[in-house]
Amino acid sequence: MVTRFGISRGVSPREPLAAVGELARTVENLGFDALWFIDHQLGMKDVYTAMTLSALATERIEIGAGVTNLTTRHPTVTANATAALDEISGGRALLGLGAGWVAVHSIGREPERLGTIRRGIEEFHQLFSGEEAELYGTRVRLATATRQVPVYLAVSQPGMLRLAGEVCDGAVVMGAADPEFCRWQLDFIHEGLERSGRKRSDIILDLFVTMSVDDDEDQAVSDVRAWATSQAATFQVWKRVPPGWERFRPEFLSAQQSYEYTDHLSLRAEHKEIVSREFVQSVAIAGDRKTCIERLREVATLDFDRITFALLSGGRRRRLEQLATEVLPGLRPEGGRAGAGTEAE
């Protein structure tokens, strides 16, 4: 059973940056051990400013971009900024890397291909070594590097899943809070580990899920609709999905064609109504406390090291406390704590 939990969030244009550190402190005090920030340069406030404020306000939790890409910033710029975050946080920085989706599509670019991402991961490892390396057609050295900051790869499709298993320190596993879907993904990660001769302990597997707990099921489903639609839009390009998910193909296409990148994950986004209720309740967790705990327990028993929850807007502190004090303790049959505690502790 998973006993480590994290939080993923973005800083919306309406949220004061002054409040970011305080919320990060709450995340830490509630017992979570990782805090990831969405990197979406047109739709959210700057990720590095948010991470720095969070690092200064906390003492224990790991902090990282969840996730950045190789397009909107040069890898040397990302590596240097991450090294600065690592210094400020006292060695708690993480680097989450992805092919690029909303941040890249919103400027008219396409996500990076697998080979480019593999090279990017290798480049980050070389840069964080602090040693001189032949990169970008010249000799470079990251003078600010002090350690190998863990590189996590955002993964969902087979090629990326295998790649994470082969070369990464961690994997941000995206897709669905569904046991069938998760097992399908885990098989490819394990395949990558086997290919490279690595041990399971060489990688941290962090499952990202979205959940809304509310006695009003309609409200809970509405809360997670925007996130579910974002997932449907990304699924459109998949050549393979778990067999049980083929029935949702038409919804993937509709979501991709209608998605508004500037409203990414907004609870007010008009595109959130595109996908069916069946898909929403398959990809995300929504319902009353009992329903959410039962769904969460199904994936918490799988081969993950941590589960990270996308923190929805609209009463973030309430959602955090509800998650830490009402939901996570319910993962244990005896009702004890499961990784996250209360501020009083």
- Bridge partners (DSSP) of residue 286 are 212
Is the CA virtual torsion 290, 296, 301, 307 positive or negative?
A: negative
Tell me the C-alpha distance between 165 and 70, whole Å. 20
Digits of tens for pLDDT over the chain (345 positions)? Answer: 999 999 999 999 999 999 999 999 999 999 999 999 999 999 999 999 999 999 999 999 999 999 999 999 999 999 999 999 999 999 999 999 999 988 898 899 999 999 999 999 999 999 999 999 999 999 999 999 999 999 999 999 999 999 999 999 999 999 899 999 999 999 999 999 999 999 999 999 999 999 999 999 999 999 999 888 888 888 888 888 898 899 999 999 888 887 765 554 444 544 446 889 999 999 999 999 999 999 999 999 999 999 999 999 889 999 999 999 999 999 875 544 445 654 433
The candidate with the shortest Cα–Cα distance to 278, out of 254, 296, 251, is 251
Judged by DSSP in three states, 301 sits in coil
Each residue of 132-151: b (16+ CB within 10 Å) or e?
A: ebebeeeebebebbeeebbb
DSSP 270: G
Domain ranges of the chain: 5-215+288-331
Query: What's this model's pTM, rounded to 2 decimal places?
Result: 0.92
- The CB-side HSE value for 74 (13 A sphere, CA atoms) comes to 6
What DSSP letter does each residue of 237-263 carry, written as one string?
T-S---GGGGGGHHHHHHHHHH--GGG
Tell me the C-alpha distance between 192 and 207, whole Å. 17
5-215+288-331 carries CATH number 3.20.20.30: yes
Counted residue by residue, the chain has a size of 345
The token pair at 182 is: 């998760």
